[in-house]
Amino acid sequence: MPKLDAAQRFKAELLNVSSKAALAELLVEACAAMGCSWFALTHHIDFLAGPEKGVRLHNYPEEWVRWFDEQGLGVNDPVHRASQRRAAGFLWHEMGTFSRPRRGDRAILARARHHGIYDGLTIPTHIPGEAHGSVSFAWSRGSSATPEALMFAQSLGAFVFEAARQLSGGGAANDPPRLTDRQIECLLWAARGKSDSVIAQIMNLRTDTVSEHLRNARSRYDARSRISLAIRALFDGTICFGDIAKG
């Protein structure tokens, strides 16, 4: 297993990549260093735009990817789902300890094995309001993802992500709508399930004023319902679960 200084050489090269091809090449090298067969990088910029806008790079077997795409999986498979709820990297075979399995998950994993993909690890990375993604490395039959590999991948993951971020146009791309203080306050109460009139009582305002704040917030997010508003604001970090739970 590679040492820290190997990781550092990768890091230096990652920060200088100028094309997807170069990035892919580096990831192949990382695979070699860890003794695994495949890598997959997803970097998806905008909640609304879907994954087309980000970077998607991998060397998975074509048939597996075709099946995966045909099924309309994408962010629906257990690995991606788990990566949305974690800060730290994880081994696929330990996923069950922190992510609740869903019906159909086993079928997906079985299908992956059918294509030779037996085990793997994933490093999630998130930047609030900008991009979310992950880097995965996958092993074929006979070998499996080790804690050592996880450590190595963990030290690289964030830099892979930064490289992808640069390739897809950098951080300046999309800043989320800004809400005013009052709009956020109203939104938080709404996210707690309060009606406009109750919010008005709480905030000592007229009901119409509350409606007005939420209306303006919706229009800034181009959201037609308060539920879309809440979820988009949650996704981009304008509000967070802690804010909501607090009330």
Partner DNA sequence: CCCGCCATACCAAGAAAGGGGGGTATTTTA
Partner DNA sequence: TAAAATACCCCCCTTTCTTGGTATGGCGGG
Residues that bind DNA (CB under 7 A): 178, 180-183, 190, 194-198, 205-206, 208-209, 211-216, 218, 224-227
Interface residue with a second copy, options 19, 87, 110, 142 (CB under 8 A): 87
Assess contact for 89 and 153: CB atoms under 8 A.
yes
Binding segment for a second copy (CB under 8 A), chosen from 25-33, 61-69, 105-113, 118-126, is 118-126
Q: Which residue from 61, 79, 183 is spatially nearest to 117, judged by alpha carbons?
A: 61
> How far is it, in rounded angstroms, from Cα 21 to Cα 128?
27
Residues 164-203 that bind a second copy (CB under 8 A): 165, 171, 176, 181, 184, 190-193, 195
> How far is it, in rounded angstroms, from Cα 19 to Cα 179?
36
CB nearer to DNA: pick between 44 and 194: 194
Residue 155 engages a second copy in binding (rule: CB under 8 A): yes
CB nearer to DNA: pick between 41 and 223: 223
Buried b (16+ CB within 10 A) or exposed e, 110-121: ebbeebbbbbbb
Q: Which does 115 bind (CB under 5 to 8 A by kind): a second copy, DNA, none?
A: none
Where do runs of H (alpha helix) occur along 60-180? Answer: 62-70, 78-83, 105-114, 147-167
> How far is it, in rounded angstroms, from Cα 17 to Cα 167?
8
Minimal distance in Å, beta carbon 192 to DNA? 11
CB nearer to a second copy: pick between 53 and 93: 53
Total residues belonging to the chain: 247
Per-residue x/- mask for a second copy, residues 11 to 50, rule CB under 8 A? x--------------------------------xxxxxxx
